[in-house]
């Protein structure tokens, strides 16, 4: 699944990714493997250019709608990607609904769950294009590498699917690592539409709920705060 995701991004010929080479399974153990190009990572590099190149990648869209031809993972959590023609339907079933099932409705009553899902559908009625997105774009999955004498931005370790490009940009706000130059570059190439600030909370709730699944700790409380914020919109 990771091979297919990186290949889909590589096929846009926009932002640098580790070029996928091969995948398969070890005969003796049955363990899967994927082989990617070696990249020489380095410091420095332009976050403005990172933003520009990400926006260029997002311009590549699917004629099948929202989803991906294979399910994958977000961290170690299974991520379903069956195709949907409507973005709000996709998010409700395969992202928000999926995480609510994994977290026992995040400790909410059935009434509150229904209100959250309805409000989320309202906020995601902006008819985005089904862009190819990285899907797990926190600061640890981006960097810079040396190639042909230049320092260029690179992204890796994705949870790729076709969805609202805002979901990628939203996650860059969660854990830091992206400067104002990144957002300037992105918006210079393809400005985000009105309302993206509220949708950012919707998209990042998915990742915080996933962190509750993976790590526990205080993430459930953080998610509940985000849910209350969404319901106030």
Nearest CA among 99, 184, 141, 170 for reference residue 9: 141
Radius of gyration of the chain (CA): 18
Is 164 an active-site residue?
no
- Within 8 A by CB and 6+ apart from 90, the residues are 65, 66, 67, 84, 163
In terms of Cα–Cα distance, which of 139, 133, 140, 134 is closest to 179?
Answer: 139
- DSSP sequence for 83-139: -BSSHHHHIIIIIIHHHHHHTTGGG--HHHHHHHHHHHHHHT-S----EEE-S---G
Angle, helix 180-189 to helix 47-58, in steps of 10 degrees: 40
Nearest to 154 by CA among 11, 8, 5, 41: 41
Q: Of the listed 11, 92, 136, 184, which one is catalytic?
A: 136
CA–CA separation, 150 vs 111, rounded Å?
55
Residues catalogued as catalytic: 136
């Amino acid at each position: 699944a990771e091979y297919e995701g990186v290949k889909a991004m590589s096929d846009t010929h926009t932002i640098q990714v580790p070029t996928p080479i091969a995948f398969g399974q070890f005969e003796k153990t049955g363990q899967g493997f994927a082989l990617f190009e070696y990249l020489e990572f380095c410091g420095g590099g332009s976050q403005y250019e990172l933003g520009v190149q990400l926006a260029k990648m997002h311009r590549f869209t699917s004629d099948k709608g929202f989803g991906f031809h294979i399910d994958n993972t977000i961290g170690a959590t299974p991520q379903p990607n069956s195709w949907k023609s409507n973005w709000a339907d996709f998010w409700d079933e395969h992202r928000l609904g999926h995480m609510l099932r994994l977290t026992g409705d995040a400790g909410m009553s059935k009434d509150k769950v229904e209100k959250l899902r309805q409000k989320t559908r309202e906020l995601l009625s902006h008819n985005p294009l089904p862009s190819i997105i990285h899907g797990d774009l926190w600061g640890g999955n981006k960097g810079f590498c040396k190639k042909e004498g230049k320092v260029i931005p690179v992204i890796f370790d994705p949870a790729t699917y076709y969805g609202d490009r805002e979901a990628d940009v939203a996650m860059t706000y969660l854990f830091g690592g992206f400067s104002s130059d990144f957002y300037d570059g992105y918006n210079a190439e393809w400005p985000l539409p009105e309302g993206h600030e509220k949708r950012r909370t919707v998209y990042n709730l998915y990742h915080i709920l996933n962190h509750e699944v993976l790590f526990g700790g205080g993430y459930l409380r953080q998610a509940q705060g985000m849910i209350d914020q969404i319901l106030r919109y």
